[in-house]
């Protein structure tokens, strides 16, 4: 499954990818206690991007992926 040539994770790989996500960026950047706003923004952007890359469903299936929007 892909969108605009960008492949999404295969469902069979999601458990492994989520485990790696938890041990990697999620562990490194949360809880989000940084000294500057810039550091907080960077941490949130990295964690958000990594999670979206694992997300297995295209936008049309998930109502335009509103759950992934940062506001």
> For the chain, which residues make up each domain, given as ranges?
2-68
Q: What is the pLDDT of residue 60?
A: 55
pTM: 0.70
Kindly report, residue by residue over 9-67, the tens digit of the pLDDT.
888 998 999 999 999 999 999 998 999 999 999 999 999 889 888 875 555 555 555 55
**pLDDT over 70 (residue 5):** yes
**Cα-only R_g, the chain:** 14
**Half-sphere exposure of residue 10, counting CA atoms within 13 Å on the CB side?**
2
Between 40 and 5, the higher pLDDT residue: 40
pLDDT at 21: 96
With 0-12 / 13-18 / 19 or more C-beta atoms within 10 angstroms meaning exposed / middle / buried, residue 51 is: middle
């Amino acid at each position: 499954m892909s969108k605009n040539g960008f492949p999404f994770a295969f469902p069979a790989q999601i458990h492994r990818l989520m485990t790696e996500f938890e041990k990697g960026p999620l562990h490194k950047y949360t809880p989000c206690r940084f000294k500057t706003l810039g550091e907080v923004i960077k941490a949130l952007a990295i964690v958000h991007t990594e999670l979206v890359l694992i997300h297995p469903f295209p936008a049309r299936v998930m109502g335009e992926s509103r759950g992934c929007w940062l506001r």
